[in-house]
Structure 1
Amino acid sequence: MVLGSDLRRGSGRLGALIAAAVLALALSACGNDSGGGGTAPTSTSAEATPSETPSATEPSDPAAAEKEIRENWATFFDPGTSKQDRQAVLENGSLLGPLLDAFSGDQRGQDVEAKVTKVEFTSATEADVTYSLLLKGVTVLPDSKGTSVEQDGTWKVSVKTLCGLVGLSGNASAPGC
């Protein structure tokens, strides 16, 4: 599922290659909703609500947002987390039950954890997340790159991050990716 080959301790080069693949997948799947049209309106409407800051580079409370991102990533990648709880912290999670089944159905998926090491906000509703992926407590993908998005008031693991990881398993046809 997450890892498509037999990774042994000391295979740092392979881990670095896989991390680079995750980054490349994430960047190529970046179909970002924030592009074109929303950040510099030219309409005659002068009623911009003060709470909307489309050009903000971070949320109004970055410390609280970072804490939530770290907690939600830990929840999502905790082997003991239920499917329902994973859906709650995955972007569009309520629509992605089959993708979660594919992710969780593999034995390795049940042994995967993530440790967030860095959060950098790129907007008020998106953040780049640096994390290490652990398999049975052993780091297999150090310094991996992913994203988190704020959706419906909750900071969630992005679909493109999960799809990048699922893609490493060789399952290019995972439902939802």
Structure 2
Amino acid sequence: MAAAVVLLVAPAAVACGDDSGGGGDSAPPEPSAEKSSEESPSEAPSDDASAPADPAAAEKEVKKNFEKFFDPAVPVKEKEDVLENGAKMRGVLDGFSGDERGKQVSADVNKVVFGSATEADVTYALTLKGATALPDASGTSVLQDGTWKVSVKTLCALVKLSGNESPGPGC
């Protein structure tokens, strides 16, 4: 089942070429609480805060947006809205959504742990046709433009699982 999930992300990786010409990393990135882009969230409270002002509401939004991002019934434009730097990642999203197996994958968030007021570690189960393929997948969510979004680092790590050394622009 996990192999099927890896095969799922291969079309997304193929859909995007690497415009940077660089990227000699041989190991896939590990999702973590690090910021996944150079862009700063627009509502960045002080770095001293270890959680958002309303952790319960933030956790609810993280779960909702993570599950929305992986919901096969959600249009690509709506997924773009809940992905960090979504417009810049459109090529990867198009490849992800254009694959038949992509229409069979979803996620159930199990745990959200805030590392700061603008970042959270997310543990989720990735399912294929309703069967759990990756029970303890980990990713990150970042607060960007006032919305908790799936981090680019999370998407890029999944694409890297396909074995593609150059997952595409933005990764």
With normalisation by structure 1, the TM-score equals 0.73
Q: Which residue of 1 aligns with 2:6?
A: 3
Larger radius of gyration: 1
Is 1:78 aligned to residue 71 of structure 2?
Answer: yes
The residue type paired with residue 7 of structure 2 is G
User: Structure 1 CA distance, aligned partners of 2:46 and 2:32?
Assistant: 27
* Paired residue secondary structure (1:118): strand
Q: Which residue of 2 aligns with 1:94?
A: 87
Q: Which residue of 2 aligns with 1:41?
A: none
Aligned length: 143
Q: Which has the higher contact order (CA 8 A, sep 6+)?
A: 2
CA deviation after TM superposition for structure 1 residue 101, in Å? 1.2
Judging changes above 3 Å, is the alpha-carbon distance between structure 1 residues 161 and 171 closer, same or farther for their aligned structure 2 residues? same
The residue type paired with residue 6 of structure 2 is L
Identify unmatched segments of 5+ residues in structure 2: 9-27, 39-43
- 1:1-177 mapped onto 2 (5 Å cutoff): 2-4=5-7, 25-27=29-31, 30=34, 52-175=45-168, 176-177=170-171
Identify unmatched segments of 5+ residues in structure 1: 6-23, 35-50
User: Structure 2 CA distance, aligned partners of 1:70 and 1:174?
Assistant: 25
With normalisation by structure 2, the TM-score equals 0.75
Identity of aligned pairs, percent?
Answer: 56
Maintained 8 Å contact 1:128/1:146 = yes
* Paired residue secondary structure (2:65): helix
What is the alpha-carbon root mean square deviation over aligned residues?
2.4
User: Structure 2 CA distance, aligned partners of 1:111 and 1:171?
Assistant: 22
